[in-house]
Amino acid sequence: MLIGLVGAGGLVGQQVIRCIRDNEKFNSHFISFKFFTRDTNLGRIYILHGKDVTIEKFSFSKIQDLNFDYVILATENDVSAEIINFGLLCKLRTKFIDLSSEYRLCQ
């Protein structure tokens, strides 16, 4: 299973990383992580359950090409909406977990 985190350099993204690091349920050879940011903490390396994970520069092509099972969006509302719309347009099978309030505000 491949899980992505967009916004890994921000405050919410850092909290998500702590939750992953501290939860033994994510300690599996079957789970891999990719972390992305636009600029903050770019290149920073985390060790999660014995695996190095580097925060990489975000791009839409990476979301499309890597065939993620899940992508956690720890981004601002407009960025989350843009990424989810991209996923819908490209008919990705990825499941997006949006931590912004974008779609809650549209109710």
Instruction: Give the Cα-Cα-Cα angle 58, 59, 64 (nearest 5 degrees).
Output: 120
Q: Are strands 32-37 and 95-98 parallel, antiparallel or unpaired?
A: unpaired
| Listed residue (102, 44, 92) closest to 70, CA to CA | 92
Q: Which residues, in sequence order, are bridge partners of residue 68?
A: none
The pLDDT value given to residue 15: 95
Residue 36 tokens read as: 């992305």
Please report which confidence band the pLDDT of residue 106 belongs to, taking 50, 70 and 90 as the band edges: low
Query: Are the C-beta atoms of residues 97 and 72 closer than 8 Å to each other?
Result: yes
**What confidence tens digit (pLDDT) does each residue in 34-90 have?**
999 998 889 999 998 888 999 999 999 999 999 999 999 999 999 999 999 999 999
The pLDDT value given to residue 92: 94
